[in-house]
Amino acid sequence: MKKNTRKLFRRSLLVALILALMVPMFTACKPADGGQATDPPTGGAQPTKAPTAAPTAAPTDAPPTEPKFGKIVIWSNEGGPWNAPVPSDPEYLERLHDYILENAGVDVEVILPPKDSDAATQRLAILLSGNEQMDAFKGNVNNYYAKGAIQPLDDALAKYGQPCFELWPETYGGGWAGTKGTDGKIYGIPNLPSLAGATIYLNKHMMEKSDLDTTKLPTSMEELYTILKTFQEKDPAGDGQTIPMLLDLYGMNMTMAAGYMDQGLDWNMKGCFDKTDQKYKPYVFADGYKDFITEMAKWYSEGLIYKEAFTINRERQMELIGMNRVAATALWYTTVTTPLRDAWQADDTVDLLVPAELKGPTGYSKSITDTGIEGWMVPKKSKMVDSVVAYIAWLQSDVRNYHTVHQGFEGDYWKLDEELPGGKYAMVNIPPPEGQNKKYYGDFFIGGSFAMTQKIVSRQADGRVMMDLQYIEKHITDTVRTRQPATMGFSFLFDLAKIEESVSRTDMNTKIASELTKFVMGTRPLDEWDAFLEELKEVGLDAWIEAFTEQYNTHKIK
């Protein structure tokens, strides 16, 4: 009897153990509550939780209402949280969430992208192809359309999108045209016009420390070279820590290559038009491009370009800039202004100078991109297209809505000063209290629009203009002192899906990027340039030229 009891006890224990093992396994497999639209996103980058209780101090003091448009989950890649030194304050987020719910009728949840750009790309790809809810993101509309990853917005725009159409004026060129698919439908709400976002910056402090005249900015590559040499010799950062120039492949090409070519560098399509045989080819075939790479290789070999320039990521670039080691940069402008923001606010002599008149042997050295094809999109699997468009329309309908969600409640970090002529507004930035970070970095913000940026004249309390805004105001849309690509005004019409049928753009871009960095770094001798161009045939050069030339001829502006 005793033996049987022990046996029974052992078996019961065993069954309990098996159940204990199996129950968590099955509960882990079970979705939270089945429906995609209401599923809270899980895993990876954590979403900002929607509050369940009444707001602690929402401006309206009203309890959260039922969302008029349902819950949307946004991929918050406008850049605010990405560039923030610390995460936003949860309590502030809760208040703002309730404010949006109350005023826009949308229950917004946020997925914050990882700071590492590769990890962010990977996470976005998983979100687009997986079952997790994600309803809005920003990116290159042409690329995502070609992959079939997004859905048309026409119906939703017809219902709610009037403010978006009113905000984005015709004068920005393409815009809406750039976010259309080959089927004529609108797949994105425009975000940016034609831009020259990559720039050469010279650190004013370092110029002064190096006894360089800050009123005489370089106008030729020779003068720029001399300035970099001076930085190297004078070592303004001290202890041999000065980095004369920090750049990456994109920045190097977009800020200087056009000065050696007969056209702007077309970074969207990574090509150039060869007038001699009327064909559209990869940009490395452009006349003068080899001379440009030869010059860069010389600068690199002389230690003017940071030795690890092509292997570090954006975080490390910003770290080096923030350490005050970098004298000149050829990078995307916010990569430089963001890490210097605090120093700029504390010291009004900190400044960055843009050599806007810089020219190479053939003319201005900076390239401008084609008409904006970047916009706000809704993934193909999302069921919340109306809610997303309604939310963006609400944001874009009023400068206060826009800036509240972008920068926090009015009076905390900004306030509108006065209405200016031409429908513009003067805005004063309010810095956070001394030694404190802001409590909010734009987590809930989507629908960012260059058109809205243009409506605001933003100043610090002391009247100074933030460095990034200075660049936006004076340089970013400068079409006079920049070179335009051969596909200006129509590259967004290229049928990328058709091109991809005959050639892999990524394979070609990868091969070119890899070899260019080797030429500049000197790990491949420049005598092999012709051999390199020949090697591109093995990657599918002929098919590439044929596919792109066909698109060029079909869509070129006659």
Partner 1 sequence: MAKTSMLLPKKGRRWSAVRRHMPYYLLILPGLVWFIIFKYVPMYGVSIAFKNVTPFETVEDMMRSPFIGFKHFKTFINSYYFEILMRNTLEISLLRLVFGFPMPLIFALLLNEVRNNRYKKIVQTISYLPHFISWVVVSGLVTMIVTTDGGLINNLLVLMGREEIYFLGDPRYFRSVLIISGIWKELGWNTIIYLAAITGIDTQLYEAAVVDGCGRFRRAIHITLPGIANIVTILLIFSIGGLLDAGFEQIMLLYSEPVYDVADIIDTYVYRKGMIEMNYSFSTAVGLFKSVIAMALIIIANVTAKLFGREGLW
| Interface residues toward partner 1, by CB under 8 A | 10-11, 14-15, 17-18, 21-22, 25, 29, 118, 121-122, 125-126, 128-129, 147-149, 249, 307-308, 310-311, 379-381, 504, 506-507, 510-511, 513-514, 517-518, 521, 523, 538-540
Contacts of 424 (CB under 8 A, 6+ apart): 454, 455, 456, 457
Nearer to partner 1 among residue 54 and residue 125 (C-beta):
125
CB of 419 to partner 1, least distance (A): 44
Nearer to partner 1 among residue 164 and residue 304 (C-beta):
304
CB of 59 to partner 1, least distance (A): 39
Question: What's the CA gap between 202 and 352, in Å, rounded?
Answer: 6
* Gyration radius (Cα) of the chain, Å: 26
Q: Which residue has tokens 């401006």?
A: 59
Nearer to partner 1 among residue 507 and residue 530 (C-beta):
507
CB of 346 to partner 1, least distance (A): 27
CB of 520 to partner 1, least distance (A): 9
Nearer to partner 1 among residue 17 and residue 158 (C-beta):
17
CB of 553 to partner 1, least distance (A): 26
Determine the angle formed by the axes of helices 505-521 and 289-301, rounding to 10 degrees. 50
- The amino acid at residue 65 is T
CB of 538 to partner 1, least distance (A): 5
What is the rounded (10 degree) CA torsion for 133, 136, 141, 146? 10
Question: What's the CA gap between 209 and 224, in Å, rounded?
Answer: 17
CB of 464 to partner 1, least distance (A): 33
Question: What's the CA gap between 97 and 79, in Å, rounded?
Answer: 19
Q: Which of 131, 106, 138 lies closest to 388 in space, CA to CA?
A: 106
* Residue 98, both tokens: 């309730």
Question: What's the CA gap between 14 and 7, in Å, rounded?
Answer: 11
CB of 312 to partner 1, least distance (A): 8
CB of 20 to partner 1, least distance (A): 9
Question: What's the CA gap between 289 and 503, in Å, rounded?
Answer: 23
Question: What's the CA gap between 179 and 196, in Å, rounded?
Answer: 19
Walk across the sheet containing 198-203 and list its strands.
243-247, 326-332, 198-203, 352-353
Nearer to partner 1 among residue 129 and residue 553 (C-beta):
129
List Cβ<8 Å contacts ≥24 apart for 222-226: 224/200, 224/328, 224/355, 224/358, 225/299, 225/304
Query: Three-state SS for 460?
Result: strand
Nearer to partner 1 among residue 48 and residue 382 (C-beta):
382
* Residue 120, both tokens: 């962010």
Nearer to partner 1 among residue 465 and residue 513 (C-beta):
513
Asked if 179 contacts 186 with a C-beta cutoff of 8 angstroms, the reply is: yes
Nearer to partner 1 among residue 16 and residue 54 (C-beta):
16
Nearer to partner 1 among residue 23 and residue 32 (C-beta):
23
Contacts of 400 (CB under 8 A, 6+ apart): 410, 416
